[in-house]
Chain A
Amino acid sequence: MSAQANASASIPNARRTLSAARVRRAAINGGVFVLLLACWIVAVRAFGLKSYILPLPGDVLKALWAGLAVSITDKAGFYVPLWVTLGNSALGFLLGSALGLVLGSLMAEFRPVETAIMPYAFALQSLPKVAIAPLIVIWFGFGNMSKVVIAATLTFFPMLVNSFTGLRATEPERIDLMRTLSATRLETYLRVKLPSAAPYIFAGLDMGAVYALLGTIVAEFLGAQTGMGVTITQLQAVSDVAGVFACLIVLGATGVLLHVGMRAVERRVVHWTERSRS
């Protein structure tokens, strides 16, 4: 009885030390945040910076509030442009990652495909791909299509490289196992190679999600009806720097949410790796 009581008493103890570590970490993070804000305010005051160069944090917060505290259908708020940007990013992301996975798989499975595509894949991989955005706008116009195409292009390459690398990194022993079972190529691909490559593929998807958002914004800078890129250029045109900062905060938060969401999906799908159990 008393042993049981002791055992149950030791668990909250362990929990307390865990939460103590958590409190310490939160304190450090909060401290750094407050310090950065203080530096920001001091810099504005000390150098007498005008609000159209660097606004005060309070002004940014006001602009953020003005953008968020509106009806979700209000064209002056952040929701409508964010929705358009996310929609185009998501479509481009899906297209780009699907194409990257398919071509990466074909390259990993068939040597001639690898030989044919590898030099171009590597050459294009080292090209800063946002530089082709103007061309894509010429070909696909200022509508949603050009945004989707640019987002897809940017997502495509990390997916191609990662899925190819991951599939080729399959442990030879696992392939030998499938050979001893006279498994078909497709069976080996689906049951062994694809799951083996899953951590690589998820790293590619994680990168791709950020790139898709980046590509869409860049395309919107070049010209669009609506979208966060449009909102930023409009605010820039009237020197509303606080508004630009508010947009950046919204985009930053979106990026973090995408990353966290992707990690959560990865943890569920690729549950067997060390990374997902830590």
Chain B
Amino acid sequence: MSTEEVGATAHVPTGTARPLIEAQGVSRVYATVSGETVHALGHVDLRIADGEFVCLVGPSGCGKSTFLRLVAGLDPCDGGRLALAGHPVIGPSSDVGVVFQTANLLPWFTVLANVSLPLRVGAGRGRPAPPHQVQELLAIAGIAEFANKYPYELSGGMQQRAAIVRALVRDPKVLLMDEPFGALDALTRERLNVELLRIWQASRKTILLITHSIAESVFLADRVLVMSARPGRILREIPIHLPRPRTLDETPAHPDYVRLMTEIRGLLYREAI
């Protein structure tokens, strides 16, 4: 099995090109109800290249989700510099699609209405909405036959596929995913990991995915960023040079797979203590 097949070359981030996402000393502080100040993020530095798949892992409460909200423009930074395609992040952008921890579909809309919602509100309003493109994305995600169903008629896995289609429908440059498969059973999760890689390779998006699962991060990413306990900062950057396309049969059997998992686990355990 050659690793040099067409479409199988690993995405090597080009260090010289301007990064799509760039964080320099980003910090975030918030006050709890009781008035305590919590340093959620310490001093985050990272650069993510166009087309890269990056996973962010870290102990619970280390500020992973907080960082994602900053990139999504949902919350402001309290310090440092955060830029998207060279422009400072000042609010939500059409260049960013977000997939939440739960599918977060609106139960009063059908799947089709849910996934095309981004084309009907905000910056998507008035844009010519190509219906065939929505249908195409539904087909790629394997849920075309559920277009006219309501979310409650779908399994959790199918709902999360619809959530991914919704995040892609404005054709953003970046996909931010906050533990998107955390609520699913192990089998569905593995299957969706494979699907996600397929969608990523077909759409050439830049993906920043947060996960608790070390196996998931190694399976998916070009690079895994390990975060420290709160206040979170990037502890180590681990390039994953496993061959693509990755499969459930071959990738876990690769000699580097276990080594990488052990390395990340070691870092995380040291942090948790």
Residues of A at the B interface (CB closer than 8 Å) are 173-174, 176-184, 187, 191-192, 195, 198, 270-273, 277
Q: Scoring B residues 78 to 95 as 1 if CB is less than 8 Å from chain A, else 0, what string do you get?
A: 000000000000011110
Is residue B245 within 8 Å, beta carbon to beta carbon, of the partner chain?
A: no
- The minimal Cβ–Cβ distance linking B21 to chain A, given in whole angstroms, is 16
- The minimal Cβ–Cβ distance linking B119 to chain A, given in whole angstroms, is 9
Contact A182 B106 (CB under 8 A): no
Interface class of chain A by DSSP? helix
Determine the chain A residues whose CB is within 8 A of the CB of B124 once the complex forms: 181
- Among A180, A191, A192, A195, the residue within 8 A (CB) of B98 is A180
Contact B100 A177 (CB under 8 A): yes
Contact A181 B122 (CB under 8 A): yes
Determine the chain B residues whose CB is within 8 A of the CB of A180 once the complex forms: 72-74, 92, 96-98
Determine the chain A residues whose CB is within 8 A of the CB of B152 once the complex forms: 272, 277
Q: Scoring B residues 213 to 232 as 1 if CB is less than 8 Å from chain A, else 0, what string do you get?
A: 00000000000000000000
Known: A177-B98, A181-B122. 8 other contacts (CB 8 A): A174-B104, A177-B104, A180-B98, A182-B122, A195-B108, A271-B150, A272-B150, A277-B152
Determine the chain A residues whose CB is within 8 A of the CB of B142 once the complex forms: none
- Given contact pairs A173-B100, A272-B150, A272-B152, A181 touches B123 in the complex (Cβ within 8 A): yes
- Given contact pairs A178-B121, A184-B121, A187-B121, A272 touches B108 in the complex (Cβ within 8 A): yes
Determine the chain B residues whose CB is within 8 A of the CB of A179 once the complex forms: 74, 92
* A–B pairs, 24, beta carbons within 8 Å: A173-B100, A173-B101, A174-B106, A176-B98, A178-B121, A178-B122, A180-B72, A180-B73, A180-B96, A180-B97, A181-B92, A181-B122, A181-B123, A182-B121, A182-B122, A191-B106, A191-B117, A192-B106, A195-B106, A195-B108, A198-B108, A270-B108, A272-B108, A273-B107
Chain B contact-residue range equals 20 to 34
Determine the chain B residues whose CB is within 8 A of the CB of A195 once the complex forms: 106, 108
CA distance A160 to B184 in the complex (A): 39
Segment 100-151 of B: residues with Cβ below 8 Å from A: 100-102, 104, 106-108, 117-118, 121-124, 150-151
Contact B102 A173 (CB under 8 A): yes
- The minimal Cβ–Cβ distance linking A109 to chain B, given in whole angstroms, is 17
Determine the chain A residues whose CB is within 8 A of the CB of B73 once the complex forms: 180
Contact A184 B107 (CB under 8 A): no
Residues of B at the A interface (CB closer than 8 Å) are 72-74, 91-94, 96-98, 100-102, 104, 106-108, 117-118, 121-124, 150-152
Determine the chain A residues whose CB is within 8 A of the CB of B122 once the complex forms: 178, 181-184, 187
Interface class of chain B by DSSP? loop
Residue on A with the closest CB to B94? Answer: A182
Determine the chain A residues whose CB is within 8 A of the CB of B96 once the complex forms: 180
CA distance A277 to B152 in the complex (A): 11
CA distance A184 to B126 in the complex (A): 14
- The minimal Cβ–Cβ distance linking A172 to chain B, given in whole angstroms, is 10
- The minimal Cβ–Cβ distance linking B100 to chain A, given in whole angstroms, is 6
Contact A176 B74 (CB under 8 A): yes
Determine the chain A residues whose CB is within 8 A of the CB of B101 once the complex forms: 173
Residue on A with the closest CB to B151? Answer: A272
Determine the chain A residues whose CB is within 8 A of the CB of B107 once the complex forms: 272-273
Determine the chain A residues whose CB is within 8 A of the CB of B97 once the complex forms: 180
Contact B102 A181 (CB under 8 A): no
- The minimal Cβ–Cβ distance linking B118 to chain A, given in whole angstroms, is 5
Contact B100 A176 (CB under 8 A): yes
- The minimal Cβ–Cβ distance linking A275 to chain B, given in whole angstroms, is 12
Contact B92 A182 (CB under 8 A): yes
Residue on A with the closest CB to B108? Answer: A195
Determine the chain A residues whose CB is within 8 A of the CB of B123 once the complex forms: 181-182
Determine the chain A residues whose CB is within 8 A of the CB of B151 once the complex forms: 272
Identify the interface centre among A176, A177, A184: most chain B CB within 10 Å of its CB.
A177
Determine the chain B residues whose CB is within 8 A of the CB of A198 once the complex forms: 108
Residue on A with the closest CB to B98? Answer: A180
- The minimal Cβ–Cβ distance linking A130 to chain B, given in whole angstroms, is 36
- The minimal Cβ–Cβ distance linking B205 to chain A, given in whole angstroms, is 15
CA distance A192 to B121 in the complex (A): 11
